[in-house]
Amino acid sequence: MGLEEKIPDSIILTTVDKMANWAHKRSMWPLGFGLACCAIEMMSTFAPHFDLARFGMEVMRPSPRQADLMIVAGRVSMKMAPVVKTLYEQMPNPKWVLSMGACASCGGVFNNYAIVQGVDRIIPVDVYVPGCPPRPEQLIDGILKLYEQIEKESVKDKREEWGRRIG
Amino acid sequence: MTEQKTVTVNMGPQHPSTHGVLRVVLELDGETVIKATPVVGYLHTGIEKTMENKLYYKAIPCTDRMDYLAPMSNNLGYCLAVEKLMGIEVPEKVKWARVLLTELTRIKSHLVWLGTHALDLGAMSMLLYTFRERESIIDVYEAVSGQRMMSTYIRIGGLAKELPKDFDKWVRKVLKQVPQGMQDYIDLLSGNQIFINRTKGVAVISAEDALNYSLSGPMLRGSGIKHDLRKASPYSGYENFDFEIPVGRIGDAWDRYLLRLEEMRQSLRIVQQALDGMPEGPYRAHVPGVVLPPKEDVLYKMESMIHHFKIITEGFETPRGAVYQAIEAPKGELGYYISSDGSNKPHRVRVRPPSYINLGALPKMVEGRLLSDVICAIGTIDIVLGEVDR
């Protein structure tokens, strides 16, 4: 009828990279963690109207130990920066970071003493989503861009990278 | 006999039910809370300081980003304060449009409160329902300003631009959809034994304590004190509208749930009246040199273009002095104190944030109660950390 007729019943040949990337990409659990205004738009994205569950991401994990993706939604203050860094370090590998909104990406309109001028000063960022706050469509686009990025990743590179980080 | 020991638990700043980045240090004896200390400042943005370095006009976008669940109310408070300082009288239509939009904002803010409060108490699907209705209000925001959340639509002396032609259509859609949604919420929650058990008699604050902690908004009215700035000192033409001020009885979380639902109904009534009676007229006051001229004039009239250029580049000079203007924001009394030294930038802007002051009553509400009641208390205060920390 459907897929069952198309695939052979014995062996499928693929590469480890493709398999791993496919698995990473299709079951990504974001960390349920909101900072400011963008968090409300992030909630809208998870709500029925935009429905992020279409991309296999409906489970928000309140604990960093169970999360793969950190969406930094909002401005990071100087007082919050160590907390954000700790949360990132608590997440198990492989992990990705999406910086949502102008404040998280570059400090936004708040170029002052209180705000970290871009979250990439404290943790590595994979995708930046501009906007103040970005529309849910923009966030979804950012997530799809991250998926494209993951497809190009190689397990070998990751292993070397993590090895360096631990060593 | 074993020794009595208390445990200190650190709740937040990353905790799903602290509505952002609130941190509460709890001292527990078993499950009983002995002492609760809220620690704020994890979202300190320096908004008040930033506003001092901006021209009066250019400070408006900063106000949006304080209480990001009710951006229009913040705009209105600031603009009314500057208008008071400058002595600007706005046209009737502007007043009506502002009332309509801020009442929609109240509904929008209460919808997020209802969704997250119910989510914290275990009713997970409520969030999905309330965000469904919230989208219809966001459509109005988007129709008037082009932005979903941070609209910066209310400006000094008027509005950013003319109300769109299909404004009526969008607002009528809200008026139709929100009451239907509210019926769903009542069906889901009002008879729900779990929700009732977790809110009735929990997070109680007596009328006397509410006054002593200078609470405002639903937190004050939930304790039975009938005080609402829309009636007590009407601004922006609220005296023209017919609406009731609901009050609670004993000041527990259940009372405040019913009260906020009733407030949403009253807001819908005001929106209906404002939509039906919206007068015709200009969307900005005519005060050359202070209020931006309409965009169509800027393109074709020399004087308007000069005024526009001067206001944008240099701003306008204000009389020396200080003003305080408070409005009834969804969370309580939102006040702006602006001190002017006669230059084109405010010397000091001080915000009286309702949820920050309401948060002060948290220890009173939870001490001696169980740990799980802390979640309910934080939810029922309706805090927004952007406003608490600024």
Q: What is the tens place of the pLDDT at every residue in B45-78?
A: 888 888 888 888 889 988 988 888 889 999 999 9
Which stretch of DSSP H or E encloses residue B99?
helix B92-120
- Rounded to two decimals, the ipTM of the complex is 0.85
Measured N-to-C along each axis, helices A37-46 and B125-145 cross at an angle, to the nearest 10 degrees, of 120
Model pLDDT for residues B265-323, shown as the tens digit of each residue: 999 999 999 999 888 888 888 888 888 888 888 889 888 898 889 888 988 888 898 99
Q: What percent of chain B has pLDDT over 90?
A: 29
| 3-state SS assignment for residue A34 | strand
**Given an 8 Å threshold on Cβ–Cβ distance, is A35 in contact with B44?**
no
A77 chain-B contacts, CB cut-off 8 A = 41-45, 389
Question: How much is the pLDDT for B2?
Answer: 64
**Given an 8 Å threshold on Cβ–Cβ distance, is B45 in contact with A115?**
yes
Query: Domain limits of chain B?
Result: 47-288+315-358+370-389
Model pLDDT for residues B338-376, shown as the tens digit of each residue: 999 888 899 999 999 999 999 989 998 888 888 888 888
Opening angle at CA B74, ends B69 and B79, nearest 5: 155
Residue B75, amino acid: N
Question: How much is the pLDDT for A12?
Answer: 75
Give chain A's mean pLDDT. Answer: 84
Q: What is the DSSP letter of B16?
A: T
Chain B nearest-CA distance from A115, in A, is 6
| Interface list for chain B against chain A, based on CB atoms closer than 8 Å | 13-16, 20-21, 41-47, 49-50, 61-62, 65, 68-69, 112, 127-128, 131-132, 134-135, 138, 148-150, 385-386, 389
B61 chain-A contacts, CB cut-off 8 A = 109
Question: How much is the pLDDT for A27?
Answer: 80
Compute the count of residue pairs across chains A and B with CB atoms less than 8 Å apart: 93
Class of domain B47-288+315-358+370-389: mainly alpha
Q: CB–CB of A66/A159 below 8 Å?
A: no
Q: CB–CB of B387/B362 below 8 Å?
A: no
Q: Would you call A59 an interface residue with chain B, using a CB distance cutoff of 8 Å?
A: no
**Number of C-beta neighbours around residue B314 at 10 A:** 11
What CATH number has the domain spanning A27-166?
Answer: 3.40.50.12280
Pick from B20, B41, B132: which is nearest to A39 by CB?
B20
Pick from B41, B127, B131: which is nearest to A79 by CB?
B41
Q: Would you call A91 an interface residue with chain B, using a CB distance cutoff of 8 Å?
A: no
Whether residue B172 is predicted with pLDDT greater than 80 in this model: the reply is yes
Question: How much is the pLDDT for A167?
Answer: 44
B249 against B2, higher pLDDT: B249
**Given an 8 Å threshold on Cβ–Cβ distance, is A132 in contact with B44?**
no
At B31, the pLDDT band (50, 70, 90 cuts) reads: confident
B324 against A34, higher pLDDT: B324
At B100, the pLDDT band (50, 70, 90 cuts) reads: very high
Q: Out of A11-15, A24-28, B15-19, B144-148, which region has the weakest mean confidence (pLDDT)?
A: B15-19
Chain B nearest-CA distance from A86, in A, is 11
Model pLDDT for residues A52-86, shown as the tens digit of each residue: 888 877 778 888 888 888 988 888 999 989 989 99
**Given an 8 Å threshold on Cβ–Cβ distance, is B42 in contact with A112?**
no
**Number of C-beta neighbours around residue A161 at 10 A:** 12
Hey, which residues 98-117 in chain A have their CB within 8 Å of chain B? 109-110, 112-115
Q: Pick the residue of A71, A79, A115 with the most B CBs within 10 A to test the interface with B by mutation.
A: A79
Model pLDDT for residues B110-133, shown as the tens digit of each residue: 999 999 899 888 888 888 899 989
Question: How much is the pLDDT for A55?
Answer: 80
Q: How far apart are CA B140 and CA A132, in angstroms?
A: 18
Q: Pick the residue of A52, A63, A66, A77 with the most B CBs within 10 A to test the interface with B by mutation.
A: A77
**Given an 8 Å threshold on Cβ–Cβ distance, is A80 in contact with B134?**
no
Model pLDDT for residues B184-219, shown as the tens digit of each residue: 999 988 888 988 998 888 888 988 999 999 999 899
**Given an 8 Å threshold on Cβ–Cβ distance, is A36 in contact with B386?**
yes
**Given an 8 Å threshold on Cβ–Cβ distance, is B68 in contact with A77?**
no
Instruction: List alpha helices for chain A, DSSP H.
Output: 3-6, 16-26, 37-46, 81-90, 101-106, 136-151, 155-166
Question: How much is the pLDDT for A35?
Answer: 85
Burial of B373 (0-12, 13-18, 19+ CB in 10 A): buried
Query: Domain limits of chain A?
Result: 27-166
Question: How much is the pLDDT for B1?
Answer: 56
Identify which of A124, A114, A140, A134 has the alpha carbon closest to the alpha carbon of residue A49.
Answer: A140
**Number of C-beta neighbours around residue B30 at 10 A:** 11
Strand order in the sheet with A69-73: A69-73, A96-100, A127-129
Question: How much is the pLDDT for A163?
Answer: 66
Q: CB–CB of B156/B79 below 8 Å?
A: yes
Question: How much is the pLDDT for A164?
Answer: 63
Q: How far apart are CA B249 and CA B256, in angstroms?
A: 9
Q: Pick the residue of A60, A66, A84, A109 with the most B CBs within 10 A to test the interface with B by mutation.
A: A109
| 3-state SS assignment for residue B141 | helix
